Structure 1
């Protein structure tokens, strides 16, 4: 409905036998002339114009128990549309509810919300696996070009920041380790400290955190933008499966590239530790390599085994957040920040579980 000129909008009201008859324009400009309280019966046969503000007023009266009569079919459709768009807020705990019950109520709601979130993540993981199996059965449907592009965006473009970060972590470990071990005359063990810390934990963990920060946000922003512009609905209309087009290439690229980034991170961390050990302790590169060869190779294997799992976590959380974006830009920003926080938190939790598991199996 087009809004009338406020100077020409007029609404007359007449009361008879408990019925309020309205004639003229029931629009935003004439709404202040109506009573705020409930009206038992409304005769709307004389209405010439009705906008969404007027329909909102009528829906409130109808919810309060008022009887509406004489509404034209065109105005009735607008009233039904406005009434259907109105949402009822979730009621807060009663003010007189004891504090301990309010705390339990909030805790229960958060637990249920968390369980729903995990169920949705499991659903998206299943959708990725189903799309992967479908691609294996029907290779012609697999988008190799998209996979190569996302491998470049996820892996190749992350190499500089991952290398620099790991190099500096190795430098810091060597410097701090040398400061502490020098007190006991055990400077040579700084090589073992660097190797185990970088290969087993810090290399892949910090790499996954960096990838979670840059890739989870990129996934959410890209898919969320498509969701806002209804491009995903257009894909379904054209017979294209969003799981095959959007989710599979992105998550698979992460699964393929994160182990490679983890390996690059390990090498850069060891090089940084070797450089600082040479400067601070006088341990030559040849001595560093000789001492490094005594470190068990299982430490590197333990670190790299985590990479595909971390990649799945980051990819699934990013795609899930992108699909949850609504029609507004605020939803896109909120889901992007939520995806980054959730991905980093989930990676740290998964790393802690891996550490406990490998400790129990003596690896």
Structure 2
């Protein structure tokens, strides 16, 4: 019952959070100095003043802001996110097509970043004050201060341009029909963007895991275990992993928002047509229906990740499980 109540309250807060995100996004778009009609048309295809007015009337750009937002919200209640001004397709269809590409990219990068960060943190803590520890710390600090697009460009230049091991861009081979694209082709084009996201997301988990494990190794029960003859790696396995797993899971699921933001840069660098790439198009073209739809989906995606992390806590830590049972 306590878990059901917690989930219910969290969902209510999530609805309020998504509503706030939608309102803030709408206000920022309205405050943008860019003319939506200018963003809609191209310089190569100039239009007359009458055509500009017809375009504005067709998309409802002359309506009051609150009326536009109200129409979008009422349509959303019916399951309709509107029509994309740039793609001329329903927003749900545009998101559906590109979200699967982003989901695969972020899932692979998320697993790689979490696993590699956790392993590096454990190794650094177990080898504290050695060359291995110093190397891992320097590596993490350099990666943490490096922009994601710079890391992506560096990886692209080395592994795609110089070595030629991977394709330079796109999510599928050029000139190949969609029906003929195999899973191997998609994974082959996925490697570099996923590695870019994984590398940039490793440092925080590694440094935090390292510090938490060092605290465990310096604790009284770890010292007592060492006095009983246990090796350092036995202490890490028997006493350290369970204690550092909870904060690692917290960081891992909390990094979903950063992962989504990094995917925008990675997809732009590698021309990987995922949801991040579409978000850039929607922002530069002031495609309000598409931008609101992407904001709603990304907000829900981040909220779901944090909710899953909170639900996993009782499974990892028995103390939390017992505390919830007594409440």
Shorter-normalised TM-score: what interval? Answer: 0.3 to 0.5
Instruction: State the TM-score, normalizing by the size of structure 2.
Output: 0.34
Instruction: State the TM-score, normalizing by the size of structure 1.
Output: 0.32
| Larger relative contact order (CA 8 Å, sep ≥ 6) | 2
More strand by share: 1
Name which one, 1 or 2, has greater alpha-carbon Rg: 1
More helix by share: 2
